[in-house]
Amino acid sequence: MLANPPFGPREETGALMKPRTKVIVLIASVVSFLGAFFWLLTTHGPLSPVGVQVGNAVRADLQPSVFGIGTVDARLSYAVGPTAAGRVLRVLVDHGDEVKAGQLLAEMDPVDMDRRIEAAKSTGARSRQTARVADALVAEAESRAKLATMNRDRDRKLYEQHVISKQALDNSTVEAERAEAALAAARANAAAVRQDTGRVDAESQGLGSLRENLRLVSPVDGVIVSREAEPGTTVVAGQAVLRVIVPESLWVRARVDQSRAQGVQVGQVAGIVLRSAPGTQMPGRVARIELQSDPVTEERVVNVSFDAPPARLYLGELAEVTIQLPAEPGVLVVPSAAIVREDGQTGVWQMVDGNARFNPVTIGSQGQAGVTQILAGLGEGDSVIVYSTAQLKQGARVREQKVDQR
């Protein structure tokens, strides 16, 4: 063996790390990778528990409200039209005009009515003349009867004095009777003539009323909202020529779900939002709840009046109303998102020992702030699951975390 090998010992240039360090680094990285792997699997993969966000049942003042949509309508709305078929002669007002009660709005064509009225008047005049004649005849008959009666009475006296014969008395008696009868006849005649006059007068008056009806007047102070027939159009009885509304009587005829209509009462404050002004809410009040609900749509009709009707309103415009029901102070509420239906029951999910448990509750009204009243099933301070990342099942493993949209 040579002491010194012919080739000198080479320097250990070597790798960057000693073998031992390398092994340690390798094992450390494998372990950390596996750790990351299993962490990922349990938090994101199919094996991970469902993430939930919890909230508490607290006491709060509940501000329930009921929502409905409807149209702007007029409570007092009149269709002005003729009572008999006819032709429109003239229309004096138009869309948007303000009218006063009694104001002439339109007129139907009287056709021959004026002439009939004339005729009736003439007949009336003539009848009055005939009455005068009859009266004169009555006067005449009266005087004759008077004379005859006087003669009879005188003749009676004379007969008692045996001045005249019985025959003469009988003559005057008969004469008197005849004159009485003639008087009665004349009176009856006069009465008949007067009756006739009365009839003719009544007929004349009737024609006058009919003639009045052809004049369409406004029943109230209001605004014309539609002009439905032009001069020359034939309209039938009952058909509207014009429509008048009372602007102060405008309200929103809103439909509210029957299931939520409980608690709506006349006089409650409501907010009205018109479709044409979606940003502005106008104050109003529940004016009337109609007794007749809609069975098909399952809605109740609630009429909400405006506290102060705005300058321009359009009939038929869509409006949304939000009726404020009386506040319920200090009731137990939970976030509405926590209320679920499971197997036909209403309840909440609760996190118990890391598992999801369903707890049936009885709920009351919903408030405006996204909370729902709990009537039974929970106590103050109980925690409920509000949001979850997946559907919950009884007994599912859950983990509390902040649930965000992703």
Partner 1 sequence: MTTTEPAILIENLTKRYGSGPTAVDALKGVDMSIAPGEVVGLIGPSGSGKTTLLKCLGAVIEPTSGRFTLAGEVIYDNAWKRTDLRALRRDRIGFVFQAPYLIPFLDATDNVALLPMLAGVKNAVARATALEMLTALDVQHRAHARVPELSGGEQQRVAIARALANKPPIILADEPTAPLDSERALAVVKILNRLAQEFQTAIIVVTHDEKIIPTFKRIYQIRDGKTYEEAGEGRSI
Partner 2 sequence: MINLARRDVANHLGRYLLTGVGLGLLIGVTLTMAGVYRGMVDDARVLLRAVRADIWVVQQNTLGPFAEPSSLQDDVYRSLEGLPGVVETGNVAYLTMQAKHRGKDVRVMVAGYTPGRLGGPSFLVAGRPIAQSHYEAVADAKTGFEVGDRIRIRRNDYTVVGLTRRMVSSGGDPMVFIPLKDAQEAQFLKDNESIVNDRNRLADNPAINRPGQPGVLKAVETIQTASHRVNAVLVRVEEGHDPRQVADNIKRWKHLTAYTSADMEEILVAKLIATAARQIALFLIILAVVSAAIVAFIIYTMTLGKIKEIAVLKLIGTRDRTIAAMIMQEALGLGVIGFFVGKFAATLWAPVFPKYVLLETNDAMRAFVITLVICALASVLAIRAALHIDPAEAIGG
For the chain, what is the radius of gyration of the CA atoms?
Answer: 51
Among 390, 394, 395, 397, binds partner 2 (CB under 8 A): 390
Q: Which of 318, 313, 366 is closest to 339 using CA atoms? A: 366
Please give the backbone phi and psi of residue 250, each rounded to the nearest 5 degrees, phi first: -70, 135
Of 9 and 278, which CB lies nearer to partner 1 in the complex structure? 9
Q: Which of 13, 167, 292, 405 binds partner 2 (CB under 8 A)?
A: 405
Q: Which residues bind partner 1 (CB under 8 A)?
A: 1-2, 5-7, 9-10, 12-15
Of 252-281, which residues contact partner 2 (CB under 8 A)? 256-257, 259-260, 278
**CB of residue 387 vs partner 2: minimum separation in angstroms?**
5
CB of 90 to partner 2, least distance (A): 21
In the complex, the smallest distance separating the C-beta of residue 277 from partner 2, rounded to whole angstroms, is 13
Residue 369 Cβ vs partner 2, minimum distance, rounded to whole Å: 9
Q: Of residues 291-330, which lie at the interface with partner 2 (CB under 8 A)? A: 296-297, 320
Q: Is 5 or 278 the residue whose CB approaches partner 1 more closely?
A: 5
Find the shortest distance in angstroms from Cβ 187 to partner 2: 52
Using CB under 8 A, which residues numbered 188 to 227 contact partner 2? none
Cβ proximity to partner 1, 7 vs 353, nearer residue: 7
| Residue 337 interaction partner, one of partner 2, partner 1, none, beta carbon < 5-8 Å per kind | partner 2
The C-alpha atoms of residue 340 and residue 217 are separated, in whole angstroms, by 61
SS3 of the chain: CCCCCCCCCCCCCCCCCCHHHHHHHHHHHHHHHHHHHHHHHHHHCCCCCEEEEEEECEEEEECEEEEEEEEEEECCEEEECCCCCEEEEEECCCCCCEECCCCEEEEECCCCHHHHHHHHHHHHHHHHHHHHHHHHHHHHHHHHHHHHHHHHHHHHHHHHCCCCCHHHHHHHHHHHHHHHHHHHHHHHHHHHHHHHHHHHHHHHHHHHHHHHHCEEECCCCEEEEEECCCCCCEECCCCCCEEEECHHHEEEEEEEEHHHCCCCCCCCEEEEEECCCCCCCEEEEEEEECCCCECCCCEEEEEEEECCCCCCCCCCCEEEEEEECCCEEEEEEEEHHHEEEECCEEEEEEEECCEEEEEECEEEEEECCCEEEEEECCCCCCEEEEEECCCCCCCCEEEECCCCCC
Of 236, 266, 327, 352, the residue at the interface with partner 2 (CB under 8 A) is 236
Picked from partner 2, partner 1, none, the partner binding residue 12 (CB below 5 to 8 A depending on kind) is partner 1
Closer to partner 2 by Cβ: residue 198 or 326: 326
User: Which residues in 347-376 contact partner 2 (CB under 8 A)?
Assistant: 366, 370
**In terms of Cα–Cα distance, which of 183, 172, 173, 174 is closest to 144?**
183
CB of 11 to partner 1, least distance (A): 9
For partner 1, give the closer residue by CB, 10 or 44.
Answer: 10
Q: How many residues bind partner 2, per CB under 8 A?
A: 48
What does 1 interact with, of partner 2, partner 1, none (CB < 5 to 8 A by kind)? partner 1
Residue of 24, 41, 84, 202 that binds partner 2 (CB under 8 A): 41
What CA–CA distance (Å, rounded) separates 357 from 348? 8
User: Of these partners, partner 1, partner 2, none, which one is at the site of residue 2 (CB under 5 to 8 Å by kind)?
Assistant: partner 1
Please state the closest distance from residue 132 (CB atom) to partner 2, in A: 48
Closer to partner 2 by Cβ: residue 112 or 404? 404
Nearest distance in Å: CB 257, partner 2: 5
Q: Which of 233, 251, 276, 263 is nearest to 109 (CA)?
A: 233
Q: Which residues bind partner 2 (CB under 8 A)?
A: 26, 33-34, 36-37, 40-41, 44-47, 67-69, 234-236, 239-240, 256-257, 259-260, 278, 296-297, 320, 335-337, 339-341, 343-344, 366, 370, 386-392, 403-406
